[in-house]
Amino acid sequence: MDNAAKALLIAGGILIGVLIISIAMYMYTLFKGAYSDSMTLLKSYQIARFNSVLTQYGSYDGSNPITLTGDQVWNILSYVEEAKNDDYSIAADIESTGNLTVDNYKKLLFFTDTSLITFNYTYQYGPDGVIREVNITR
pTM value is 0.62
Nearest to 92 by CA among 32, 135, 46, 59: 46
Residues linked to residue 48 through DSSP beta bridges, in sequence order: none
Where are the domains positioned within the chain?
Answer: 2-137
Asked if 114 and 70 touch (Cβ cutoff 8 Å), the reply is: yes
pLDDT tens-digit readout, 75-132:
888 888 887 777 666 666 666 666 566 666 666 665 666 666 788 888 888 888 888 8
Q: How far apart are the first and last CA of the chain?
A: 97
pLDDT tens-digit readout, 35-90:
888 888 888 888 888 888 888 888 777 778 888 887 788 888 888 888 777 766 66
Taking residue 31's Cβ as centre, other Cβ atoms within 10 Å add up to: 10
Cβ neighbors of 44 (< 8 A, separation 6 or more) are none
